[in-house]
Structure 1
Amino acid sequence: MPGTKPSSNRTARPANASSSEESQDCSESEKLTAGMLTKALDSLKFDICSKIELAIGGVQADIAAVREELTSSVTSLHETVNDQGGRLKELETSAAATCDSMSAMKRTVSELQSQVKVLQTKCEDLENRSRRNNIRLVGIPEDQEGTMVIEFVSNLLQEVLRLDEKPLLNRAHRSPQAKPKPNQPPRPFIIRVHYFHVRELILRQARQLQSLSFNGRAIHIFPDLTAAEAKRRAAFGDVRKRLREVEGARFWFRLPAKFRITLPGAKERMFTDPQLALD
Structure 2
Amino acid sequence: MTSKTGGSSLERAKCDELSTPESVAIMAAINRLESGIHAKFDAHAAEIRGKISLVREEMHNKFSSLKEDLKSQNEHLTCLETATSEWTTSLHSLKPTAVSLQKEITSLQAKCLDLECLSRRSNLRLVGIPEGLEGPQPTKFIADALVEIFDLPEPPLLARAHRTLASKPAEGSRLRAFVICFHRYDVKEDIWQKASQGGQLKFRDKTVFVFPDFPPEIAKKWAAYYKVKHHLRSMPDVKYSLKGLTGFRITKNGAEHTFDTAAMAFVRQNLLPA
Range class of TM-score, shorter chain:
0.5 to 0.7
- Deviations 1:94-133, CA, capped at 9 Å, x for gaps: 4433222122233333322222222112111111111111
Instruction: Read off the aligned partner of 2:261 and give its amino acid letter.
Output: D
What is aligned with 2:128?
A: 139
Structure number with bigger Rg: 1
Partner SS, residue 197 of structure 2: helix
Q: Tell me, yes or no, if the aligned pair for 1:137 and 1:189 is still in contact at 8 Å.
A: yes
Instruction: Read off the aligned partner of 1:101 and give its amino acid letter.
Output: S
2:195 is the counterpart of 1:196: no
Question: Which ranges in structure 2 are unaligned for 5 or more consecutive residues?
Answer: 1-66, 270-274
Q: Tell me, yes or no, if the aligned pair for 1:236 and 1:274 is still in contact at 8 Å.
A: no
Q: Tell me, yes or no, if the aligned pair for 1:262 and 1:269 is still in contact at 8 Å.
A: yes
Greater displacement, 117-126 / 251-260: 251-260
What is aligned with 2:3?
A: none
Instruction: Read off the aligned partner of 2:208 and give its amino acid letter.
Output: I
Instruction: Read off the aligned partner of 1:208 and give its amino acid letter.
Output: Q
TM-score (norm 2): 0.61
Instruction: Read off the aligned partner of 1:187 and give its amino acid letter.
Output: R
- Deviations 1:67-99, CA, capped at 9 Å, x for gaps: xxxxxxxxxx9xx99xx6x98877655443322
2:122 is the counterpart of 1:125: no
Q: Tell me, yes or no, if the aligned pair for 1:125 and 1:255 is still in contact at 8 Å.
A: no
Question: Which ranges in structure 1 are unaligned for 5 or more consecutive residues?
Answer: 1-76
What is aligned with 1:158?
A: 147
Instruction: Read off the aligned partner of 1:178 and give its amino acid letter.
Output: S
Aligned length: 198
- Deviations 1:169-226, CA, capped at 9 Å, x for gaps: 1111111222223333332211011222221221222233532222232221111111
Q: Distance in 1 between the 2:237 and 2:100 partners?
A: 47
TM-score (norm 1): 0.60
Q: Tell me, yes or no, if the aligned pair for 1:132 and 1:224 is still in contact at 8 Å.
A: yes
CA gap of 1:269–1:122, structure 2 versus 1, over 3 A, is: farther
Instruction: Read off the aligned partner of 1:231 and give its amino acid letter.
Output: K
Among 182, 197, 200, which residue is 1:208 paired with?
A: 197
Q: Tell me, yes or no, if the aligned pair for 1:171 and 1:193 is still in contact at 8 Å.
A: yes
Q: Percent identity?
A: 37
CA gap of 1:183–1:107, structure 2 versus 1, over 3 A, is: same
Q: Distance in 2 between the 1:206 and 1:138 partners?
A: 12
What is aligned with 1:52?
A: none
Partner SS, residue 214 of structure 2: coil
**CA RMSD, Structure 1 to Structure 2 (Å):** 3.0
CA gap of 1:277–1:140, structure 2 versus 1, over 3 A, is: same
